[in-house]
Homo-oligomer: A and B are copies of this chain.
Amino acid sequence: EKQTFAVIGLGRFGGSVCQTLADAGQEVLAIDHDEARVNDYKDIATQAVVADAQDEDVLRSLGIRNFDHVIIAIGEDIQASILVTLMVKEQGVKYVTAKAQNENHAKVLEKLGVDRVVHPERDMGVRIGRSLTSKNMIDYLDLDSNFKMAEILITNPRFFGRSLAELNFRDKYKLNVIAIAHSKSEMNLPAADDVLGLHDSILVAGPKDAIDQFEELMNSK
């Protein structure tokens, strides 16, 4: 089941993808034109190469077309990102993931046939921005356009001492309780007889409205 990956660009994002793939036991070729970056990954990647990926001959001699997935993680040099994407696609790589710098960059990458365009900074900015706007909502995740997940701190004493079964989240609040953490300890699968208390938090999933309504409940005594 092992697949072959090439990561082009070993910045913070590309480097983290490379490390994660290597940790999972996958075969990874790491490429960067910056020698110091390549050195950082020479014991992590299967192979690490100092090369300018904008050079078509380099890509060909590395046999880029034989890789199952290529991740293009060049950010600031948009021109390089586009050119490398074009060549990687032309050489026939099946699956390409590329990092975009902004919306126009993303559009070009999509037109070039990139299978998955990612916006790491933007997406994390949304997550962290959302987690800051709410006292009770520790973290807020987009699972879908209207289906969200949030960790909510139980601060309304009306909920203290009551079990999940008794509270009946599914019917009463249209929420699915995914996990429960008692007194800031680790999260666990919830049980029907789990009783809520001070400093407990629950991870819930459901429609955005249902989450917002439940969160308001935390602030109304």
Residues of A within 8 A of B (CB): 1, 3, 5, 11-21, 24, 26, 69, 71, 97, 101-102, 116, 118-126, 128-130, 132-133, 141, 143-147, 149, 170, 174, 176, 178-179, 181, 186-190, 203, 205-207, 219
Contact = CB atoms under 8 A, between A and B. Distances in A.
A14 to B, nearest CB: 7
Given A122-B16, A124-B118, A178 B149 contact: yes
A71 B132 contact: yes
A146 B179 CA distance: 12
Given A12-B121, A124-B120, A143 B17 contact: no
Given A101-B12, A147-B186, A206-B189, A19 B121 contact: no
A127 to B, nearest CB: 8
A203 B143 contact: yes
Contact of A205 (B144, B147, B179, B219): B179
Contacts of A178: 143, 149, 176, 178, 205
Contacts of A3: 133
Contacts of A132: 5, 17, 21, 69, 71, 97
A118 B20 CA distance: 18
Which interface residue of A71, A130, A132, A181 has the most chain B CB atoms within 10 A? A132
13 contacts: A5-B132, A12-B121, A13-B121, A13-B124, A16-B122, A16-B126, A71-B128, A97-B128, A145-B186, A147-B188, A149-B178, A176-B176, A178-B205
Given A97-B132, A120-B120, A179-B205, A15 B186 contact: no
Contact of A125 (B1, B15, B101): B15
A14 B121 CA distance: 8
Contacts of A5: 132
Contacts of A11: 121
A120 B122 CA distance: 9
